[in-house]
Chains A and B, each alone.
Chain A
Amino acid sequence: MIGAAAVVPEPLCVLPEYASLADPGASWRDAAARAVAAVCAEGDEVVVLAAGTPSPHHSNAPAGLRVAAEYLRAAGVDRPVEPVVVGADATPTQCAALGAALADTPGRTALIVVADGSARRGPRAPGHLDERSFAYDDVWRRAVARGDHDALAALDAQAADDLLAQGRAPLQVLAAAAALDAADRPPPAVDVLAEGDPFGVAYLVATWTWAR
């Protein structure tokens, strides 16, 4: 079962290979590092879940896995992690199957979910402004803040795609993983560490922790 989960964003500017003189992602790295440290302390094993998008241009590991590795490094967590990649275009059904499989473990798994929201939240955003962003992001961020896995499972894949919200699939994997044991235990304690959209992309740093 899932013992704890962290939702962390995917700004590539936190990566050492994209370091600037300033550190524009510093506050997000700090918050995400606290979140991953907290959930790793709750898990017997650590799974990192990120969205993958095939690219004809490079063979790098999915950026979300690299971002998560940076958060773990910043947190001083030096443990083996199992990387899991879900296609950014995976259907909700595929996400549900993957989430159920991830949660079907005897011990307590710490799940680090690299996921964020619309990249179209303003004229300077990567995808410019799409007013639908605010409603979409309200839904998923409120769902995470309330520990509401059903609301995450119901996210609209088409809307997410339209809004460049690459975190939709990982969030739906999380929803299914959380749902697996939901009938047998109280809902998780939720801690929201940070929320914002500094670069026109909706970020959230939060943890879900189930009592032992």
Chain B
Amino acid sequence: MTLRLGRHEYAATDRLVMAIVNRTPDSFYDRGATWGIEAALERVARVVQEGADIIDIGGIKAAPGEPIDAAEEKDRVVDFVARVREDFPDVVISIDTWRAEVAEAACAAGADLVNDAWGGYDRELAGAAARAGAALVCTHTGGVTPRTRPHRVEYDDVVASAIADTVAEAERAVAAGVARESVLIDPAHDFGKNTFHSLEVTRRLGEMTATGWPVLVSLSNKDFVGETLDLPVGERLTGTLAATALCAWHGAAVYRVHEVAQTRQVLDLVSSVQGHRPPARAVRGLA
């Protein structure tokens, strides 16, 4: 057992799909598609059916935009978490927030995992996860303020920085009371990083997985894919899946995605190539 989320335990070779469900009117990819409660619940049902292990519920888009205070963020996510908990008792629920106050309320409503995309910006967050008995994602952003974009950021060694920061945050979370087997680290593609940084993090992801902490990657339709292939949002799935395969090969545990079915196929294929998963039905030459 290397990872525990809620009441589920996972082996080191398991590859988990975390489906993005935005309770926002303005996120870059879905542009408010799940802003309505019914549409959001429909998406949860669909992604669970497609094989999602984790539902990641967020109330604020990552990019700069309309300021959303903690009260408004809670309005968007807490009741929804409770509803998903009720309708899907087996699925792992993740709350995508950087705010301790929001995490606390969401965990009380049934969230199992606190996905902090902003690198521990709120120093109370790990304590809130600990008190709730929740898992925590520790992310590398280079110390930026939430909802800012990188501007001329440079690193001597982006991977070394990502490892140093996320491992330090992970140890800090454990010291704050989060269960060691419930802490993940995330290099945070595109957060505090230009495209070259995100490509290097992908290329050298094995150095992060070698730390022994389970690694979460969030690649889905991001700008580093778009800039690498010169493709707009909406045409980045193939590139996303290629990066997904590479991260899987390097041993990342959790994949935060928009497209669940396609990601599941890629992860299953990589797992089979690695010898961790038998083929679904192999009869060729075997009759």
Contact = CB atoms under 8 A, between A and B. Distances in A.
Nearest to A11: B152
Interface stretch (A58-66, A78-86, A92-100, A172-180): A58-66
A119 B155 contact: no
B124 to A, nearest CB: 23
Nearest to B151: A126
Contact of A55 (B148, B154, B196): B154
Contact of B149 (A20, A55, A127): A127
A166 B152 CA distance: 10
Given A18-B194, A126-B151, A60 B156 contact: yes
Contact of A12 (B64, B142, B152): B152
Interface string B126-155: 000000000000000011000011111111
Interface in A66-82: none
B65 A22 contact: no
B171 to A, nearest CB: 19
Secondary structure of the A side of the interface? loop
Interface in A159-183: 164, 166
Most A CB contacts (10 A, CB to CB) among B143, B149, B161 go to B149
A57 interface: yes
Contacts of B227: 20
B194 to A, nearest CB: 7
B63 interface: yes
A10 interface: yes
B246 to A, nearest CB: 19
A56 B156 contact: no
A10 B194 contact: no
Nearest to B63: A128
Interface string A38-60: 00000000000000000111111
Contact of A128 (B64, B152, B155): B64
Contacts of B156: 57-60
B149 A128 contact: yes
Contacts of A63: 152, 154
A167 B148 CA distance: 20
B9 interface: no
A164 B144 CA distance: 14
A63 B154 CA distance: 9
A56 B143 contact: yes
A138 to B, nearest CB: 21
A119 B149 CA distance: 10
Interface in B55-106: 63-65
B230 A127 contact: no
Contacts of A17: 196
A81 to B, nearest CB: 21
Interface string A101-137: 0000000000000000001000101111100000000
Contacts of B143: 56
A57 B151 contact: no
B25 to A, nearest CB: 15
Contacts of B230: 21-22
A17 B196 CA distance: 9
Contacts of B161: 57
Interface string B147-185: 011111111100001000000000000000000000000
Contacts of A119: 151
B152 A57 contact: no
A55 B153 CA distance: 9
A128 B147 CA distance: 10
A122 to B, nearest CB: 11
A17 B156 CA distance: 13
A22 B230 CA distance: 9
A127 B154 contact: no
Most B CB contacts (10 A, CB to CB) among A56, A60, A126 go to A126
A60 to B, nearest CB: 5
List 3 A-B pairs, minimum CB-CB distance, nearest first: A128-B64, A126-B151, A57-B155
Given A63-B152, A166-B152, 14 more contacts: A17-B196, A22-B230, A55-B154, A57-B153, A57-B155, A57-B156, A58-B155, A58-B156, A59-B156, A60-B156, A123-B65, A128-B63, A128-B64, A164-B151
15 contacts: A20-B227, A57-B142, A57-B154, A57-B155, A57-B156, A58-B154, A60-B156, A63-B154, A119-B151, A123-B64, A125-B149, A126-B151, A127-B151, A128-B149, A164-B151
Interface of B: 63-65, 142-143, 148-156, 161, 194, 196, 227, 230
